[in-house]
Amino acid sequence: MEKRFPCSLFVSLLLAFFFLFSTNSSDALEVGFYSKSCPDVEKIVRKTVLSYYKDDPTITAPLLRLHFHDCFVEGCDGSVLINSTTTNVAEKDAKPNLSLDGFDVIDKAKAELEAKCPGVVSCADIVALAARDAVSLATYVVRSGKWSKNYNMYEVETGRRDGRVSTVSDAINNLPSSFWGIYQLKRSFASKGLNLKDLAVLSAAHTIGNSHCNSFAKRLYNYTGKGDMDPSLLASYATTLKKECTPTDNTTVLEMVPGSSTTFDTTYFKLVKEKKGLFHSDQALLRSQVTKNYVFSHVTNSTGFFHDFGVSMVKMGRNKVLEGKNGEIRKNCAVIN
Ligand code: HEM
Ligand SMILES: *[C@@H]1O[C@H](CO)[C@@H](O)[C@H](O)[C@H]1NC(C)=O
Ligand SMILES: *[C@@H]1O[C@H](CO)[C@@H](O)[C@H](O)[C@H]1NC(C)=O
Ligand SMILES: *[C@@H]1O[C@H](CO)[C@@H](O)[C@H](O)[C@H]1NC(C)=O
Ligand SMILES: *[C@@H]1O[C@H](CO)[C@@H](O)[C@H](O)[C@H]1NC(C)=O
Ligand SMILES: *[C@@H]1O[C@H](CO)[C@@H](O)[C@H](O)[C@H]1NC(C)=O
C-alpha cells in the first residue's frame, strides 16, 4: 500500500496535467497563437500602428480605448468594429461611443493580413495587438526619445474569434458611465473578471487622450440638479474647466492630462490625487482603500505601473472570448461574414 500510493499519485497527476494541457493547447488564448498560421501577424500590426503614429501620435488613445470597449461589450470579439445596418444599430453608434476612433488603423492592418494569410487572423486579436502597440509606442518613444519598433510593454494572448452580435443596447448596458461611483465601477469591473486593483490600473489609461465637455460638464454646473459642483473635483480646477466648457457644449474636446495627452505615464495618478481627474469615475478611485492606495503609491512608480498595466490588460483581454470553432474570422472587420 505504502509503495503504491506515490505511484498512483504520480499517474493521476500526469493524467490531470495531460488533460489540462490538451484542453488548453488547441483552441484557447495563448501568446503566439498564429506562430504557424500567420507568423508575421505581430510585425504587420506593429508596422501599421507605427505608420499612423508617426503621422499623428494622438492615434494611441483611440486604439487603447477600442480594446476596452470591445472587451466590455459582448466580450473581446471585435463587435465594437461592426457597422450598423438597415436592420441593426451597432455598438459603435451608442452614445458612449463619443469620439471612438482608430477604425481605419484596424482596417488597414486587416487588409494586409488578409493579403498575407486570408481568413486566419481575427479582428478581435488585431484590436488587442493594436492597443498594446499603441501603449508601447506612447511609452517607449517618449521615455527614451528613440524609435523602437520592437518594445512591447506586455505580451498579448491571441486566439480570439470574432462575434456576430453588435447592438446599441449591449453597449449601453455594459459600458461604465463617467458619472459612476466606486460601488458601480467595482460591480461593473467584477462582472468582467476584474478586481479593484485592475480598476485602478486600467483607469490610468486616462493618462492619454481627450474628452468631450459633455462627458463631465454636469460636474461643473449642475451636479445634483441644484446648480452645484461635484465636490470630488477640486473647486479651483472646476473654475479652470468652466472657462473651456459651457454647460451645453457638445463639441469642445479637452486633453485628459493637460499638456501630455500622448504620453503614457503616471501623471493620471498625480491628477487624481490632486482631485483633478476629469470624470467622477476617476475621482471615485479615492473612495476605496484598495484603489486609493494604488493611486497614491504609484504617482512616481512608473515601472510598477507599466508592469501592472500589462497584467490587467491581459486579464481584460480574456473577458468572454470566443475560441475554437465559436464565432468566425471576419473578412472585413466592419461587416459580419
Ligand atoms: C473606469 C471606467 C471608465 C469610464 C467611466 C470611462 C469613460 C470615458 C469617457 C467618458 C471618455 C471620454 C469620451 C469623450 O467624451 O470623448 C473616455 C476616454 C478614454 N478612455 Fe475611458 N473610461 C473608463 C475606463 C477606461 C479603460 C479601462 C480604458 C482602457 C484600458 C479607457 C481608455 C480611454 C482612453 C484611451 C480615452 C481617450 C480616448 C481618445 O482620446 O480618443 N477608459 N473614457
Ligand atoms: C463602415 O462605416 C464607416 C463609417 O461610417 C465607413 O467609412 C466604412 O466604409 C464602413 N465599412 C463598410 C465595410 O461598410
Ligand atoms: C455615436 O452615436 C450617436 C447616436 O447615439 C450617433 O449619432 C453618432 O454618429 C455616433 N458617433 C460615431 C462617431 O459613430
Ligand atoms: C439642473 O438640473 C435640474 C434637474 O435635472 C434641472 O431642473 C435644472 O434646469 C438644471 N439647471 C441648469 C442651469 O441646467
Ligand atoms: C447636445 O446634445 C444634446 C443631446 O445629446 C442635445 O439635446 C443638445 O441640444 C446639444 N447641445 C448643443 C449646444 O448642441
Ligand atoms: C512599484 O509598483 C510595483 C507594482 O505595483 C510594486 O510591486 C513595487 O513594490 C512598487 N515599488 C515601490 C518602490 O513602491
Instruction: Please tell me the residue having the least CA distance from ligand 6 atom 6.
Output: 304
Determine phi and psi for 5, rounding to 5 degrees: -55, -55
DSSP secondary structure code for residue 311 in this structure: H
Give me the tens of pLDDT residue by residue for the chain, a chain 337 residues long: 444 445 555 555 555 555 444 444 446 899 999 999 999 999 999 999 999 998 999 999 999 999 999 999 999 999 999 999 999 999 988 876 567 899 999 999 999 999 999 999 999 999 999 999 999 999 866 555 565 667 899 999 999 999 999 999 999 999 999 999 999 999 999 999 999 999 999 999 999 999 999 999 999 999 999 999 999 999 999 999 999 999 999 899 999 999 988 999 999 999 999 999 999 999 999 999 999 999 999 999 999 999 999 999 999 999 999 999 999 999 999 999 9
Is 255 within a domain? yes
Q: Give catalytic residues, as residue numbers.
A: 69
Instruction: Tell me the C-alpha distance between 161 and 29, whole Å.
Output: 10
Q: Ligand 4 centroid to 195 CA: how many Å?
A: 35
CB within 8 Å of 127: residues ≥ 6 apart: 63, 66, 67, 70, 76, 78, 80, 81, 106
Q: Give yes or no: residues 295 and 162 share one domain.
A: no
Question: Are 38 and 113 contacting, i.e. CB atoms less than 8 angstroms apart?
Answer: yes
* pTM metric for this prediction: 0.90
Q: Which H or E run includes 75?
A: none
Instruction: Tell me the C-alpha distance between 273 and 232, whole Å.
Output: 11
Q: What is the pLDDT of residue 151?
A: 85
Is 185 within a domain? no
* Ligand with the closest atom to the CA of 90: 3
Q: Give yes or no: residues 132 and 227 share one domain.
A: no
DSSP secondary structure code for residue 83 in this structure: P
Q: What is the pLDDT of residue 21?
A: 47
Number of domains, the chain: 2
The domain of 132 spans 30-176
From 80, 84, 97, 99, give the residue whose CB has the most ligand 3 atoms within 8 Å, as the site to mutate.
Answer: 97
Place of cell 458619472: 179
Q: What is the pLDDT of residue 61?
A: 97
Is 337 within a domain? no
Q: Give yes or no: residues 102 and 230 share one domain.
A: no
Q: What is the pLDDT of residue 141?
A: 64
Q: Give yes or no: residues 71 and 165 share one domain.
A: yes
* Ligand with the closest atom to the CA of 169: 3
CATH code: domain of residue 278: 1.10.420.10
Instruction: Please tell me the residue having the least CA distance from ligand 5 atom 5.
Output: 250
Q: Give yes or no: residues 127 and 172 share one domain.
A: yes
Q: Give yes or no: residues 209 and 154 share one domain.
A: no
Q: Which atom of ligand 3 is nearest to the CA of 97?
A: 1
Find out whether the beta carbon of 251 lies less than 6 Å from any atom of ligand 5.
no
Q: Give yes or no: residues 226 and 104 share one domain.
A: no
Q: Give yes or no: residues 170 and 216 share one domain.
A: no
Find out whether the beta carbon of 93 lies less than 6 Å from any atom of ligand 3.
yes
